[in-house]
Amino acid sequence: MNRQQGHTRNGPERPYDIVLFGATGFVGRLTAEYLAAHAPAGCRWAVAGRNEAKLERLRERLTAIDPGCARLPLITADASDPESMRELAESTQVVATTVGPYVWYGEPLVAACAEAGTDYADLTGEEEFVDTVFVRHDARARETGARLVHACGFDSVPHDLGAYFTVQQLPEDVPLRVDGFVSGGGMFSGGTFASAVTIMGRQREALRAARERRLHEPRLVGRRARAPLGAPRFSRETGTWALPMPTLDPRIVARSAAGLKRYGPDFQYRHYASVRTLQVALAAPVALGALAALAQVPPAREWLMSRYEPGRGPGAEQRERSWFRVRFVGEGGGRRVFTEVSGGDPGYGETAKMLAESALSLALDDLPPTAGQVTTAVAMGDALLRRLRDAGIVFRVAHTR
């Protein structure tokens, strides 16, 4: 069941159902193209960004996909201008944003959405940003009814909804354990690289934000939801070497478990990169450690970020060859289940699809009554899972015991 067109929970009808901010960036363009091809008739959407000329060129490109886009509204807005962020948030039911690194550019838009009661979706993988948003804006968003949904791309939809799907195959009201094993192949864009280097270079700030969040976040009563860092090991379940991944993804899964009783009284999730050879398993931590060390030194960090220009990314042929697969092993109540989430180009094509479908779900689907900072599983759950399966992302049960 869809929401009535134009209806908002917090006031009169707004001009738009969805505004895509950062639409002229690399992932933004892909997301706009996906919306042009798949937004249903009657969905009122617009694109927003800093540069009007680039927005006009984008509209021409979208009109080739859907002639109706010749009338697509263009909104000029700048993340550094709080007033333009306020006007943007007040114009729509949902804002989807690709403008990162979010720790630098994201908070004014989140603040505006929290104040206006506007649903918000982004692509961040930045723990510091997510924790800062919780501390500063979760309470106001709960008051206004805004849903602040982070990590609506490859970070962290396949892992969050994959764990959610796995839990649905297991018994209820028993302790559950789920391990996720990530593999894939693909290229990255300048914007993604800039975000990754920013994360590596701000570890002290991230730890400080995490500590502050713990002071504000309510504790679970009578239940546990954990995402401990696993140890490197050979996984017999997948036949690969498993390397712990200290990313945002396992924390998102644990927050979904905290928010949904279906995950049981005691839930644990561990998150791994899945690699085939021992040589790669030994070399990968060394390479990442060296990159992280360089990211701590400002001149080296600037040099690293200059290597990849934001706004550019892999071409269509490279994206066509890219893929991802996340295998899950879940157990509890005497049952063991093996599930899998898989798709194409993880960083760009599928990420654009995930963000666009998240925005469409928030704007149009009949969803649980949630507010504040929530995960994709808590905010959209089954509705988003259905959308992504219909869009070609595979969620399947591989084996049960």
* Other residues' Cβ atoms within 10 Å of the Cβ of residue 369: 7
Contacts of 27 (CB under 8 A, 6+ apart): 98, 123, 153, 189, 191, 313, 348, 351, 352, 355
Concatenated DSSP letters for 7-47?
-BTTBS--SEEEEEETTTSHHHHHHHHHHHHHSPTT--EEE
Q: Is 293 exposed, middle or buried (0-12, 13-18, 19+ CB in 10 A)?
A: exposed
Can you give the pLDDT at residue 2? 43
The verdict on 100 and 246 lying in the same domain is: no
119-132 average pLDDT score: 96
167-184 average pLDDT score: 96
| In-domain check, residue 394 | no
Confidence class for position 298, pLDDT limits 50, 70, 90: low
What's the structural domain count of the chain? Answer: 2
| Whole-angstrom distance, CA of residue 123 vs CA of residue 106 | 11
Q: Which range, of 102-111, 150-159, 168-177, 232-241, averages the lowest pLDDT?
A: 232-241
Shortest CA distance to 109 belongs to which of 134, 136, 131, 88?
A: 88
| In-domain check, residue 1 | no
| Whole-angstrom distance, CA of residue 12 vs CA of residue 3 | 14
Shortest CA distance to 153 belongs to which of 66, 245, 45, 27?
A: 27
The verdict on 300 and 373 lying in the same domain is: no
The verdict on 282 and 261 lying in the same domain is: yes
Confidence class for position 390, pLDDT limits 50, 70, 90: very high
60-86 average pLDDT score: 97
pLDDT, tens digit, 9 for 90 and up, residues 219-272: 999 999 999 998 899 999 899 999 998 899 999 999 999 999 999 999 999 999
The verdict on 170 and 137 lying in the same domain is: no
User: Percent of the chain, pLDDT > 90?
Assistant: 74
Q: Which of 138-147, 205-214, 237-246 has the highest mean pLDDT?
A: 138-147
| Whole-angstrom distance, CA of residue 372 vs CA of residue 306 | 36
Indicate whether this model's pTM tops 0.85.
yes
User: Percent of the chain, pLDDT > 70?
Assistant: 82
| Whole-angstrom distance, CA of residue 357 vs CA of residue 351 | 10
Can you give the pLDDT at residue 320? 75
One-letter amino acid for residue 72 of the chain: L
* Structural domain containing residue 191: 157-345
363-385 average pLDDT score: 98
| In-domain check, residue 2 | no
pLDDT above 80 for 354: yes
| In-domain check, residue 180 | yes
The verdict on 163 and 146 lying in the same domain is: no
Can you give the pLDDT at residue 250? 96
Residue found by looking up tokens 């506007």 in the block: 118
The verdict on 339 and 372 lying in the same domain is: no
315-329 average pLDDT score: 83
| Whole-angstrom distance, CA of residue 318 vs CA of residue 258 | 38
The verdict on 214 and 340 lying in the same domain is: yes
| Whole-angstrom distance, CA of residue 194 vs CA of residue 2 | 38
| In-domain check, residue 256 | yes
8 strand-pairing partners: 11
240 strand-pairing partners: 235
122 strand-pairing partners: 97
315-330 average pLDDT score: 84
CA distance between the termini of the chain: 35
The verdict on 339 and 369 lying in the same domain is: no
pLDDT, tens digit, 9 for 90 and up, residues 25-64: 999 999 999 999 999 999 999 999 999 999 999 999 999 9
| In-domain check, residue 397 | no
73-102 average pLDDT score: 96
The verdict on 170 and 113 lying in the same domain is: no
CATH number for the domain harbouring residue 92: 3.40.50.720
pLDDT above 80 for 347: no
The verdict on 141 and 99 lying in the same domain is: yes
**Are the C-beta atoms of residues 71 and 51 closer than 8 Å to each other?**
no
| Whole-angstrom distance, CA of residue 332 vs CA of residue 134 | 31
pLDDT above 90 for 287: no
pLDDT above 60 for 295: no
* Other residues' Cβ atoms within 10 Å of the Cβ of residue 2: 12
Question: Three-state SS for 221?
Answer: coil
For the chain, the residue count is 401
| Whole-angstrom distance, CA of residue 325 vs CA of residue 398 | 13
**Strand intervals (E) in 239-387:** 240-244, 266-275, 323-332, 335-343, 372-374
383 vs 190: which has the higher pLDDT: 383
| In-domain check, residue 332 | yes
The verdict on 230 and 370 lying in the same domain is: no
189 vs 201: which has the higher pLDDT: 201
Q: Which range, of 30-34, 89-93, 297-301, averages the lowest pLDDT?
A: 297-301
The verdict on 74 and 184 lying in the same domain is: no
| In-domain check, residue 8 | no
Q: Which H or E run contains 235?
A: strand 233-235
Supply 375's token pair.
Answer: 């995960």
- Mean pLDDT of the chain, nearest integer: 88
Cis peptide before 91 (omega within 30 of 0): no
